Structure 1
Amino acid sequence: MREEKVTVVGAGIGGLTLAIALQRQGVDVEVCEQARELDEIGAGIGLFANGTRLLARLGLGPALDAHSCDPTEVIFRDGLGGARIASHVLAEGDWYRTEFGSRYSGIHRKDLQRILVDALEPGTIRLGRRLTGLTEEPGGTAAMHWADDTVSRSDVIVAADGIRSLVRPWVTGTDAVRYSGTSGFRGVVRVADLPSLPDPRAIQYWVGDGAHLLHFPIGPDYEYVTFLAVVESPKQWPDPERWRLPCTTEDALAPFRGWHPAVTEMIGALPHTERWGLFGLGPLPTWSRANVVLLGDSAHGMLPHHGQGANQSVEDAFALAEILTAEDGTPPAARLERYWRLRMPRAQRVQKVSWVTNRWLHIPDGPEVPERDALFRAVGTNLPWVHEYDAQSAAAGEDRTTAPAPATTH
């Protein structure tokens, strides 16, 4: 494989991680990004042990440590009164790191992007390179067509171009994007501007009827929190071509009127101009066609309620790098199929959990509340399979115990 060339379409977290992992194995790789500059949108990101243990193997642990923090615990709260429903220790006594063999990192997306870019060889990323289509050629390979009217070829083409992937319909023959019926408002706020916030160093879910607020600390000094406030509107997304729509700060605050002051204080601490539609993917029949393969959100875009989107992309990157660089003599297409048959069941299981959680975070007062609270109290025992998994070992054939049958519905 080392004499072959890999082209990665998209310079997100998954695409950059794959490029680093391949370069460390001597593979010729380029990353093509349609943006003319790398300016990561979004706010903070949580990297759990299933992601950080892999990134540490690339030597990125010290850089991550320098730009991130360890939340003290996970807390579920009643959104109106603020009472604790359930909590689970994380940093106290170094529990999480001891339990799963790696740390949790709360980090700003821009800092993570910078760490990944700096780990690549100069000239790896080609900016302003917009893919417009693919055509299959004789011999079972694909040609890439670009906006500047050029055509290029590569031994392996990896579509890491996100949930709005241009490549996915070409690979699968369908586009399984689903609007969740929910949208979100997000931002980063200084803790000093949140006097009503209890436990600012914790990951916290404030839950209630038809809405919730998630926030967690980011950065090395716990100086900031990043938040996502989710509401069950609009019921139908009005513009399929735009996944962010204009809004006002009042649009963001209105669903949370009467909630705990910490909630309204956080949402109102900055102006809101965009509402983010929350979309996911339904199960796909395949992730590869010819020498083209999907990675990250293009293959398994999920809702953000377990913070696993980026972590699953990192898992994909390590699994694909491990399989592509194995010295077993199999052609690229066979390796790509092995990759997605390994990754699909796990990614779909995490997808399904994210959709189920979407419902339980929005339960109104009523007969289902005791069941909801029991689920929140059981998080520590129900979800270790997410954090303990080692994607690189699984790809090397060392551990296949956590790959269940593919999920077929959300």
Structure 2
Amino acid sequence: MAVVGGGIGGLAAALALSRAGHDVRVFEQARAVSEVGAGIQLAPNATRVLRDLGVLAEIERVAVRPEVFEFRRWDDGRLLSSTPLGAAIEQTYGAPYLHVHRADLVRVLAGAFPAERVAVGRRCVGAVRRPDGAEVRFADGSGTAADVVVGADGIHSAVRASLFGARAARFTGYVAYRGLVPAQRVAGLGLGRRSTVDLGPGAHLVHYFVAAGRLLNVVCVLEESSWTREAWTDPGDPAELRAAFTGWHPTVRGVVEALDHPLKWALFDREPLPEWGAGAVTLVGDACHPMLPYAAQGAGQAVEDAAALAACLTGASAADVPAALARYAELRLPRTTRVQGMSRDNGTRFHLPDGPDQLARDEVMAAAFGLSPDIDWLYGHPVPASSSGGREGARRG
């Protein structure tokens, strides 16, 4: 099996498939398997899968267990909603809620997968179906045959484009200033081990600790009418960022002022795909369901994909592969489409201007301490079952 892409989704898929008895190779276009410096949140729906893959203990060594998830108002810092995490959420869902540096997560996943099965510097330009499987094609003109090809190559996926045609991603009108701040620089702000979202007119800010508490991950989301630059990330202007948060609560301004070298990211997405593959070719993660970050589920849904894919392919013969991959998409597509919608809706809710709609939102939040039905549906999702030990159904390639 060939997995195109060595990020979180690709490595999770490779590890899940390998643990299920398949012979897997990963092809990554970069010269090394790595990740940009940013934090992510791993809810129990993801950490249960990571535990089953045998990597959760190692991730916990470099992660942070937040005690609470909270929303606060932009100008006075008033608490709008608070959800216990820590031991409470682990008791409810059987797995922890974690904050982790992306690079740390990629490092753990890569360390659990045989290094000799990862080929770097291999830029995929597409995948084609064959009578006996599929073939990955690379920019240097070479190709690799496999009985299954998994496109985990992100929102710009060449595998997806080869299946369904090339279409530009949509700029959402949001930009994010992101960065990491040494914990000692914000020690006087009393932030604690929390995941905090400060909501304001046309903007919101998220912050939480990662890297075993050594770094504060900061994401400041603003609205921008257009994005004309080719790069998705630019060096952000700290003065511009600070000006955008003038008048916000002193704690928010303190966090923003500590962010000396932010990167400015354009947030893009795509409409949900009606299908995820054809024949022996399929997709995972951002290649098929890019997520806006407003539900903190981008990595989590990619990890769920990995478990579901391995479960559907367990025991599949060569003739069974197309049907198994169709079943995988059938299982996953409704859920990921709903999560994409939740994320988009949160973008609107988070940025409401002061007024009746914002007051109504805040009243709903104040009355909804604890886990909402949507969150219960999201975090309580069961891990797909697969036969991880037996090799009878294992397939090569």
Amino acid at match of 2:119: R
- Structure 2 match to 1:228: 219
- Structure 2 match to 1:102: 95
Gaps of 5+ in 2: 388-397
Amino acid at match of 2:216: V
Deviations 1:172-226 (A, max 9, x none): 3353722211000111112321255344211101110100001112233x33221
- Structure 1 match to 2:281: 292
Q: Secondary structure at the match of 2:384?
A: helix
Give the number of equivalent residue pairs: 384
Aligned counterparts of 1:376 and 1:140: Cα–Cα separation in 2: 54
Residue from 264, 268, 287 that aligns with 1:279: 268
Alignment of 1:206-217 (within 5 A): 206-217=198-209
> How big is the shift at 1:171?
1.9
- Structure 2 match to 1:403: none
Is residue 45–residue 300 contact of structure 2 (8 Å, CA) maintained in 1? Answer: yes
Aligned counterparts of 1:140 and 1:178: Cα–Cα separation in 2: 36
- Structure 2 match to 1:402: none
Aligned counterparts of 1:42 and 1:63: Cα–Cα separation in 2: 19
Aligned counterparts of 1:188 and 1:43: Cα–Cα separation in 2: 7
Select between 326-335 and 163-172 the one with higher mean Cα deviation: 326-335
Supply the RMSD in Å over aligned alpha carbons.
1.9
Aligned counterparts of 2:264 and 2:49: Cα–Cα separation in 1: 33
- Structure 2 match to 1:237: 227
Distance 1:338 1:179, change over 3 A: same
> How big is the shift at 1:316?
0.1
Select between 312-321 and 14-23 the one with higher mean Cα deviation: 14-23
Residue from 324, 329, 350 that aligns with 1:361: 350
> How big is the shift at 1:84?
1.1
Q: TM-score, normalised by structure 1?
A: 0.89
> How big is the shift at 1:61?
2.2
- Structure 1 match to 2:49: 54
Q: Secondary structure at the match of 2:189?
A: coil
- Structure 2 match to 1:3: none
- Structure 2 match to 1:372: 361
Amino acid at match of 1:73: V
The runs of at least 4 consecutive aligned structure 1 residues that moved more than 4 Å come to 327-330
Is residue 133–residue 146 contact of structure 1 (8 Å, CA) maintained in 2? Answer: yes
Q: Secondary structure at the match of 1:123?
A: helix
Aligned counterparts of 1:309 and 1:119: Cα–Cα separation in 2: 21
Is residue 151–residue 159 contact of structure 2 (8 Å, CA) maintained in 1? Answer: yes
- Structure 2 match to 1:401: none
> How big is the shift at 1:330?
5.0
1:304 aligns with 2:299: no
- Structure 2 match to 1:124: 117
Amino acid at match of 1:43: A
- Structure 2 match to 1:407: none
Is residue 7–residue 33 contact of structure 2 (8 Å, CA) maintained in 1? Answer: no
Aligned counterparts of 1:191 and 1:273: Cα–Cα separation in 2: 16
Select between 160-169 and 97-106 the one with higher mean Cα deviation: 160-169
Amino acid at match of 2:223: E
Aligned counterparts of 1:341 and 1:175: Cα–Cα separation in 2: 23
Is residue 18–residue 318 contact of structure 1 (8 Å, CA) maintained in 2? Answer: yes
Is residue 269–residue 291 contact of structure 2 (8 Å, CA) maintained in 1? Answer: yes
- Structure 2 match to 1:41: 36
Distance 1:274 1:262, change over 3 A: same
Select between 16-25 and 311-320 the one with higher mean Cα deviation: 16-25
> How big is the shift at 1:270?
3.2
- Structure 1 match to 2:394: none
Aligned counterparts of 2:85 and 2:332: Cα–Cα separation in 1: 27
Aligned counterparts of 1:76 and 1:273: Cα–Cα separation in 2: 23
Residue from 51, 69, 72 that aligns with 2:67: 72
- Structure 2 match to 1:405: none
- Structure 1 match to 2:106: 113
Aligned counterparts of 1:390 and 1:148: Cα–Cα separation in 2: 42
Aligned counterparts of 1:269 and 1:381: Cα–Cα separation in 2: 33
Deviations 1:141-195 (A, max 9, x none): 4432212221221110000001121221222335372221100011111232125
1:342 aligns with 2:331: yes
Aligned counterparts of 1:154 and 1:88: Cα–Cα separation in 2: 46
- Structure 2 match to 1:28: 23
1:263 aligns with 2:256: no
Select between 292-301 and 143-152 the one with higher mean Cα deviation: 143-152
Gaps of 5+ in 1: 1-5, 397-410
- Structure 2 match to 1:11: 6
Aligned counterparts of 1:69 and 1:242: Cα–Cα separation in 2: 31
Distance 1:219 1:287, change over 3 A: same
- Structure 2 match to 1:178: 170
- Structure 2 match to 1:399: none
> How big is the shift at 1:140?
7.3
Aligned counterparts of 1:232 and 1:78: Cα–Cα separation in 2: 18
Distance 1:198 1:80, change over 3 A: farther
Amino acid at match of 1:65: E
> How big is the shift at 1:126?
0.5
> How big is the shift at 1:18?
1.2
Aligned counterparts of 1:348 and 1:59: Cα–Cα separation in 2: 28
Deviations 1:9-36 (A, max 9, x none): 0001111011111212221100000000
- Structure 2 match to 1:406: none
Q: TM-score, normalised by structure 2?
A: 0.91
Is residue 253–residue 264 contact of structure 1 (8 Å, CA) maintained in 2? Answer: yes
Larger helix proportion of the pair: 2
Amino acid at match of 1:215: H
Amino acid at match of 1:237: W
Aligned counterparts of 2:126 and 2:91: Cα–Cα separation in 1: 47
Aligned counterparts of 1:177 and 1:371: Cα–Cα separation in 2: 33
